[in-house]
Structure 1
């Protein structure tokens, strides 16, 4: 039977309200700024959102299956401009809609089921699939590569690396020049989703989400992923350098959902400290278990949680972890200069009902399918203190990024930049916070458009773009094109 494309988007929450597809490409300049953007901020905030160009074949398609739409927000001399464009072409299955990073002169749009897409960092035009000159041997590539701030290496992997339903993991290190210094193939204990991972000076950690793929189910037309309440939370621990496949240890904890990683490092005793968002329920509720059971979205509570793992232990049962922050949180970000090492400060999205969000007013405009966070939290791990920023009673926040203050080497001294959904105006805003006075915005940049809920993004300093030769000086001015 021939399948024809739908002519309109389904009447579903994930395609309505603030989640109505944007499908727009263009430039916006000289935006209205409330407050003042510090002149020492010079760079670009790249972010990606799933934004379907065409109605889906599946009526209840999850919100994050949309085509990748990249935005670039450029700031220099206290001025601001935005450039955004659809990022991918209809030639391979990837929608490159999960994350965007800058490495070795390439802007890479990522989705974990395929190789990266390379884009021009200035124009955002799609160059095509990027396989690092043919060195990428895996069919897949993580949406969350890690970057060692001391060596400049990119540490990455692919799961289902030999194709759908395969338990194979391909782990690799990439030098700052784009050369593969190590490639290692592993076999996971189950065919599970590995959305994020963690890296220390000497170890790599692979947290397996108990969302499992069964190739027979897939061949019969079933969903790729299915929640398994009987599967433990596995964490694979692998030496970062010079390992062989048998070196990996698969530690396990009770059935639970590992979300995004905050950071990992080694303590003075050589134990691995692993900080991750953890929920006792299936966060990806749109993929229920085999009986169709899934938690109500409002009942899901993810907490910043710390595991201590002894790499020398032959006991593969993980000790009960420490809850670092008991609030409902996700999308953890740190000062990336402290990645892989001991750190003190963490920034993340929070849902704090006591802040007085006007749900009766905004509920008809929310759209659906995505997590709701009404505030940002700056958490000091050493003291346990939290500072909270709430943008307003008709606002929700997306993932933040950290911008170091020019000339400062102090951890977390800088700014937080976050895209905010304003359900009153039905437009997006960029809020800039000084980490020294976190509870009030330094500046609010008003966008004359609505950008759907995104997944991830990163700040790229202008010096890094200039050194790559990818950002002409005429564009750096931020006031002309």
Structure 2
């Protein structure tokens, strides 16, 4: 839709759809609350801020069945100091947000389809997928555009961030990786020359914001690369078989369509000094790769790559060309390990030779002790759905809302022993993505705390649950919020000591 076309009627309420109802009803709150209620004890050695972002549309969309994660990015900051917690929340002032606020109505059309917009945007993003701290700024990320920079303290939006004009691509990953020794940020953009382009742009950024190198690649298919992984010497790009077609976009269709005929491609590129033709695109039978846990190199120089893997289309709201999609309750994603020889002549991967399931449970949102990113690690933390734990599904079902996978517990997997510890927050609760907080003064991997936002469907409000990894199955503290925060996507812990460096 161009600006010359008449606009749809202004919606006076959100659509009567699962993704806009119950706990998923948009909250649209900005503000701050000091001294949140704490039940239990927050250790005094925790000093920092947990930042997270959620899609939270400020206006009802004019595309009625808009996916839940097309909402405006709303950043939450939970500052913990002296065993107290304060809360602050502000929207990212993207071009979309400010122009819609001026117009007092939605102007953005379908998810990542500019041909359905009411107006033309210069930067068409909601900045709603992840938020990271880098070089003194918060960066609000969504993989269809450059980051938006924010002030870490006030959450004031500073504007689009192109690293002083160094950013080579039109897009930027929502999952940058950080070298724990150098602070280097390793990034990429897919559809890097614009919608429907097969170009992938890889780049490394020094801790001071200087671009160290850029490598342009061409992917074997125009498809989604949501997350990726980095080792000491390699970069790994898992391509989700959700494909883009420009003709479909121009006809007002969806950006993504599940392709059961497309294999799972895994791109492998040298991390430093690569040329475009150095990339290898390994192939594995069609499946859905979700978020990465970690990657590293073993003693033989093989890449060990841990990520969630499902045989079915996890993004069920984008079916295949015939409209086929799995029912949400049938989707089962497992933490899975790929072992890949980057020097191999054959690009074909097999379950027998290259794949090992690390955990049988239905899991997602994998996190680790970030001090061990890119190197061998022992401890993985993640969301888990285990119906046997005792969730009262009949009681909470009317309030769940919809459009996203549900997880009722937090898990800790010891990769050396294979043992799993599970924290179950309660019969009327679901968990969001956790973050790991190292114990002050301890260099032991996994020694610290796990913090996660938890949905309480009985009170219809949000809680923070803090766990000690030395006693994982019991909450150390539960922090209550006097409001409900919609299901979010990603976030990160920023230690006060790291900000002061």
Instruction: Give the Cα–Cα distance (whole angstroms) in 1 for the partners of residues 145 and 95 of structure 2.
Output: 14
TM-score, normalized by length of structure 2?
0.93
Which residue of structure 2 aligns with residue 42 of structure 1?
Answer: 47
How far off its partner does 1:301 sit?
Answer: 0.2
Instruction: Give the Cα–Cα distance (whole angstroms) in 1 for the partners of residues 208 and 338 of structure 2.
Output: 34
Which residue of structure 2 aligns with residue 25 of structure 1?
Answer: 30
Q: Superposition pairs for residues 144-183 of structure 1, below 5 Å?
A: 144-183=175-214
How far off its partner does 1:464 sit?
Answer: 1.8
CA deviations over 1:42-87 (Å, ceiling 9, x no partner) = 0000000000001111100000000000000000111110011111
Is residue 94 of structure 1 aligned with residue 99 of structure 2? no
CA deviations over 1:293-337 (Å, ceiling 9, x no partner) = 000000000000000000110110113110000100000000000
Is residue 455 of structure 1 aligned with residue 496 of structure 2? no
Is residue 208 of structure 1 aligned with residue 239 of structure 2? yes
1:273 alignment partner, one of 294, 304, 307: 304
CA deviations over 1:319-360 (Å, ceiling 9, x no partner) = 311000010000000000000000000000000010010011
Q: Superposition pairs for residues 89-238 of structure 1, below 5 Å?
A: 89-91=94-96, 92-238=123-269
SS of residue matched to 1:234: strand
Aligned partners of 1:70 and 1:84 also within 8 Å: yes
Which residue of structure 2 aligns with residue 67 of structure 1?
Answer: 72
Instruction: Give the Cα–Cα distance (whole angstroms) in 2 for the partners of residues 242 and 452 of structure 1.
Output: 42
SS of residue matched to 1:329: strand
SS of residue matched to 2:196: coil
Aligned partners of 2:142 and 2:173 also within 8 Å: yes
Aligned partners of 1:307 and 1:319 also within 8 Å: no
Instruction: Give the Cα–Cα distance (whole angstroms) in 1 for the partners of residues 316 and 474 of structure 2.
Output: 34
Aligned partners of 1:366 and 1:423 also within 8 Å: yes
1:15 alignment partner, one of 12, 15, 20: 20
Moved beyond 6 Å, runs of 4+: none
Instruction: Give the Cα–Cα distance (whole angstroms) in 2 for the partners of residues 148 and 425 of structure 1.
Output: 41
TM-score, normalized by length of structure 1?
0.96
Is residue 311 of structure 1 aligned with residue 342 of structure 2? yes
Which residue of structure 2 aligns with residue 478 of structure 1?
Answer: none
SS of residue matched to 1:369: coil
Segments of structure 2 that go 5 or more residues without pairing to the other structure are: 97-122
Q: Give the alignment's Cα RMSD to 1 decimal.
A: 0.7
Instruction: Give the Cα–Cα distance (whole angstroms) in 1 for the partners of residues 401 and 287 of structure 2.
Output: 27
CA deviations over 1:359-387 (Å, ceiling 9, x no partner) = 11000011111110000000001100000
1:390 alignment partner, one of 388, 407, 424: 424
Which residue of structure 2 aligns with residue 3 of structure 1?
Answer: 7
Aligned partners of 2:171 and 2:190 also within 8 Å: yes
Segments of structure 1 that go 5 or more residues without pairing to the other structure are: 468-481
Is residue 434 of structure 1 aligned with residue 468 of structure 2? yes
Is residue 355 of structure 1 aligned with residue 389 of structure 2? yes
Instruction: Give the Cα–Cα distance (whole angstroms) in 1 for the partners of residues 6 and 148 of structure 2.
Output: 30
Instruction: Give the Cα–Cα distance (whole angstroms) in 1 for the partners of residues 209 and 350 of structure 2.
Output: 38
Instruction: Give the Cα–Cα distance (whole angstroms) in 1 for the partners of residues 80 and 61 of structure 2.
Output: 35
CA deviations over 1:417-472 (Å, ceiling 9, x no partner) = 000000000000000000000000000000000000000000000012223xxxxx
Instruction: Give the Cα–Cα distance (whole angstroms) in 2 for the partners of residues 133 and 153 of structure 1.
Output: 17
SS of residue matched to 1:64: helix
Is residue 334 of structure 1 aligned with residue 368 of structure 2? yes
CA deviations over 1:197-226 (Å, ceiling 9, x no partner) = 000000000000000001111111110000
Is residue 404 of structure 1 aligned with residue 438 of structure 2? yes
Aligned partners of 1:308 and 1:319 also within 8 Å: no
How far off its partner does 1:7 sit?
Answer: 2.0
1:248 alignment partner, one of 279, 293, 296: 279
Instruction: Give the Cα–Cα distance (whole angstroms) in 1 for the partners of residues 236 and 93 of structure 2.
Output: 30
